């Protein structure tokens, strides 16, 4: 993983030098010298100066309060981080898709109201009716035939009362 020979790692400060951030390396070794284990994600440096993330589990080996040795398990997590990034990107794309679908659905509901009012209007409003029909058809091609306007939203009769029949009786 690091590219060093065993003999090269035997020098006292070499293990600290493997940490990209020397302060973190010293903190890990200080904790271990005081009998504490250390766990976390850190960035390490290989012999060829390549930096890579690792999950580090360091512990102390001791007998009756006496330090006998240190053990460190380094697990390279480059691939895990890459997959986590891909997952975050997929979740963002899903959220954008849901937002776009909701906006399109709301737009289609508004078109249903426009089409309904255009049906009640005199013949001079037929271009509006044709345009709203084309937009509605485009919506159904994109989001499927099963997508119908929400009747609770599209039904304006309870809110308008007798206003629509009165308006349709007038000549424009």
pLDDT tens, residue by residue, 115-131: 777 777 666 566 766 77
Tell me: do 68 and 14 sit in the same domain. yes
Which has the minimum average pLDDT: 8-17, 81-90, 130-139? 8-17
Q: From CA 137, how far away is CA 139, in angstroms rounded?
A: 5
Residue 84 has pLDDT above 90, yes or no: yes
Name the average pLDDT for the chain: 77
- Of the three residues 76, 109, 131, the one that is the final residue of a domain is 76
For residue 164, give both structure tokens. Answer: 């629509």
pLDDT bucket at 151, cuts 50 / 70 / 90: very low
- Of the three residues 76, 109, 136, the one that is the final residue of a domain is 76
Domain that residue 62 falls in: 6-76
Q: Assess if residue 84 is contained within a domain.
A: no
- Whole-model pTM: value is 0.55
* Nearest Cα to Cα of residue 17 among 51, 41, 68, 40: 51
Q: Assess if residue 137 is contained within a domain.
A: yes
Which DSSP category does 49 fall into?
A: S
Most confidently predicted of 14-23, 87-96, 134-143:
87-96
Cβ neighbors of 111 (< 8 A, separation 6 or more) are 132, 135, 136, 139
Tell me: do 114 and 153 sit in the same domain. yes
Backbone angles phi, psi at 13, to 5 degrees: -100, 0
Number of structural domains in the chain: 2
List residues bridging with 34 in a β-sheet. none
Give the CA distances from residue 9 to residues 12, 22, 33, 124, 151, in Å, rounded to whole numbers and listed in that order: 8, 16, 18, 88, 73
Q: Assess if residue 87 is contained within a domain.
A: no
Cβ neighbors of 69 (< 8 A, separation 6 or more) are 60, 61
To which residue do tokens 């493997």 refer?
A: 18
Q: Assess if residue 48 is contained within a domain.
A: yes
| Residue 152, SS3 per DSSP | helix
């Amino acid at each position: 993983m690091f590219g060093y020979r065993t003999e090269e790692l035997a020098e006292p400060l070499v293990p600290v030098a493997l940490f990209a951030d020397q302060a973190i390396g010293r903190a890990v070794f200080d904790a271990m010298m005081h009998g504490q284990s250390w766990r976390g994600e850190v960035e390490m440096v290989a012999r060829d100066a390549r930096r890579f993330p690792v999950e580090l589990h360091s512990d102390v080996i001791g007998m009756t309060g006496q330090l006998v040795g240190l053990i460190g398990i380094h697990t390279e997590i480059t691939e895990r981080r890459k997959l986590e990034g891909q997952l975050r990107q997929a979740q963002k794309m899903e959220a954008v898709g849901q937002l776009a679908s909701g906006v399109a659905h709301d737009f289609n509901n508004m078109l249903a109201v426009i089409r309904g009012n255009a049906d009640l209007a005199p013949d001079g409003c037929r271009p509006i009716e044709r345009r709203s029909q084309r937009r509605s058809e485009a919506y159904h091609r994109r989001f499927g035939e099963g997508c119908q306007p929400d009747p609770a939203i599209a039904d304006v009769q309870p809110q308008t009362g007798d206003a629509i029949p009165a308006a349709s009786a007038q000549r424009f």
